[in-house]
Amino acid sequence: MSRIDVHIDHIVLKGVEPGDRTAMVEGLRTELSSLLANSADRASWARNHRTPVLKLGAMPFTPGPSGGRKFGTQLAGAVARGLKP
């Protein structure tokens, strides 16, 4: 398998400042790319499936760009775990 496409249509971020959102999305994008590039895990994702809703529960968020990046990284890990069969 040479390619994985992940489409995230909607992320709800209530009460998060715009600058923090930008950092969060960058952290999410960077970490998801890294996690999905792991060839050892790719075999378990080598199936066509849809996950209409992924409920992750409460996750701590620290305001500011570094908090946003950290949150995005944690979110990516949770999404990757949710993709595994």
pLDDT in tens, 12-21: 778 888 889 8
d(CA 73, CA 85): 21
pLDDT at 3 exceeding the cut of 80 = no
**pTM score, two decimals?**
0.73
For the chain, give the mean pLDDT. 80
d(CA 77, CA 72): 9
CB under 8 Å to 23, separation ≥6 — which residues?
65, 66, 67, 68, 69, 72
Tokens 């249509």, located at residue: 9
Least confident of 31-35, 44-48, 49-53: 44-48
CA distances from 66 to 20, 21, 50, 72 (A): 8, 11, 31, 10
